[in-house]
Structure 1
Amino acid sequence: MLTLHGFPSSNYHNIVKHALLQKGIPFEEHIVYPQTPEMLAVNPMGKAPSMTTESGTHLSESTVLVDYLEDAYPDNPLYPADADARAQVRQLMKISELYIELPARRLLPSLLVNAPADEDTLKEVRAMLTRGINSLNTLAKFSPYVLGDELSAADIYLRYVLNVAKQVATTLLHWDLATDIPGLSEWSELMASTPIAQKIDADREANHKEFMAYIAAAKAKE
């Protein structure tokens, strides 16, 4: 059986977890935190998520893991059959990661410890987020899913990538992203309404106290 290593407060962990549940693949969830000996044993970067395949191979990076699941378990596909359409799914995933989540993540330390952020950093993050959102608006359809009639890996990726961006934008940039992304609110409600999303959200909430304790302990060691 597959083992998913990580923790439910991690959005990238939840991307892979959602893909596993969506495809109906049996797996075990091993709760482990970054840079611990347990995580380093399965991922040399010490990051979440990581996965141990049924053959014992350790893999990491969320896009690699989602692609592996699609290759190894082709039932209930998360990518279209057409090559151009598959590339569009991957394109939106990459734009979401690099130009929405990644710039927002620069402000995550301030968000986690409720500390003020540098004004220059705030301006830079807002500028990059604006570019990312403009790209998303150009590519996304939200009709009802992000790229059309069928749910794809792009929907799963965007849902969890936006978690950090929404929190950072609302708390530190005083910006409601939904006002600048037409169709986002309706799509978000659709995605949140499924039993899979509800389970992942509940698991994340249940993990929050333990995750914050991990953050506090890590900060105390600095």
Structure 2
Amino acid sequence: MITLHGFAASNYYNIVKHALLYKEIPFEENLVFAGSDALLTVSPMGKVPAITTDDGVNLSESSVICDFLEDTYPDTPLYPKSATERATVRQIMKIAELYFELPCRRLIPYLFSGTDAPNALKEEVRQVLTRGIIALNRLCQYSPWIAGRAFTMADIYVHSVNTVVSACAPSQLDWDVLAEINGMKEWRNTMRQSDIAQKIEADRLANMPEFMTHIKTQMQAAQPK
């Protein structure tokens, strides 16, 4: 059985978890936080998520893991058969990561500490998000799914990315970024209604208190003595 290492408050962890649940692949979860010695035994960078495969191989990086799951368990596909359509799905995923998730991630320390990010940083994040909004407005189809008629990895990926965006942008930038992308909020509501998405969200909320305790401990340890 596959072991999924990480913690449910992580959106990258939940990308892999969503794929496992959608494909109905048996797995067990091992709660471990980023940067810990325990995680370093299965993830060379100490990053979440990581998996241990049925034959004992450790893999990290969510995109690598999801590609492995797609190759190993093809009966319930999350990518189209056409190479062009697969590339389109990956293009949406990459843009969502680079121009949505990663800029907002720069605001997370301020969100966790309850402080306001510097104006210069806010402006940098706004500029990158604006580019992402333009790109996703051009690429996302919502017919009914984000890349077209079929549910794909792009739906899972963007849904998890939006967890970070919707947490950081309104509080730090006073900006409802998702409202800037035509059809995004309606699609997101559809995604939230699935049993898998509801389970993942319930697990995420249940893990948040322990995760925040871990973060506060790390922040206290990092303070000058």
- Quickly name the TM-score band, shorter chain normalised: over 0.9
- Residue number in structure 1 paired with 2:89: 89
- Residue number in structure 1 paired with 2:134: 134
The CA deviation at 1:178 is 2.9
Is 1:210 the equivalent of 2:210? yes
The CA deviation at 1:50 is 0.4
Q: For residues 135-180 of structure 1, what are the alpha-carbon distances to aligned partners after superposition, in whole Å with 9 as ceiling and x for unaligned?
A: 1111111121101111100000000011111211110111112321
Is 1:3 the equivalent of 2:7? no
Is 1:166 the equivalent of 2:192? no
Correspondence list, 1:15-164, <5 A: 15-164=15-164
The CA deviation at 1:105 is 0.5
Q: Distance in 2 between matches of 1:142 and 1:177?
A: 17
SS at match of 1:136: helix
SS at match of 1:163: helix
Q: Distance in 2 between matches of 1:168 and 1:217?
A: 21
SS at match of 2:8: coil
SS at match of 1:29: strand
The CA deviation at 1:118 is 0.6
Specify every segment of 5 or more residues in structure 2 that has no aligned partner in the other structure, as ranges.
none
The residue identity in structure 1 corresponding to 2:20 is L
SS at match of 1:102: helix
Q: Distance in 2 between matches of 1:179 and 1:186?
A: 10
- Residue number in structure 2 paired with 1:193: 193
SS at match of 2:47: coil
The CA deviation at 1:35 is 0.9
Q: Distance in 1 between matches of 2:46 and 2:107?
A: 21
The residue identity in structure 1 corresponding to 2:136 is L
The residue identity in structure 2 corresponding to 1:109 is P
Q: Distance in 2 between matches of 1:207 and 1:52?
A: 21
Which deviates further from its counterpart, 101-110 or 171-180? 171-180
Q: Distance in 2 between matches of 1:130 and 1:169?
A: 12
The CA deviation at 1:40 is 0.6
Structure 1 residue runs of 4 or more that deviate by more than 2 Å after TM superposition: none
Q: Distance in 2 between matches of 1:134 and 1:147?
A: 16
Q: Distance in 1 between matches of 2:29 and 2:130?
A: 35
The aligned length equals 222
The CA deviation at 1:113 is 1.2
SS at match of 2:96: helix
Q: For residues 22-44 of structure 1, what are the alpha-carbon distances to aligned partners after superposition, in whole Å with 9 as ceiling and x for unaligned?
A: 00100011110011111011011
Q: Distance in 1 between matches of 2:29 and 2:168?
A: 28
Q: Distance in 1 between matches of 2:210 and 2:196?
A: 22
Q: Distance in 2 between matches of 1:4 and 1:191?
A: 23
The CA deviation at 1:220 is 1.2
TM-score normalized with structure 2 length: 0.97
SS at match of 2:77: coil
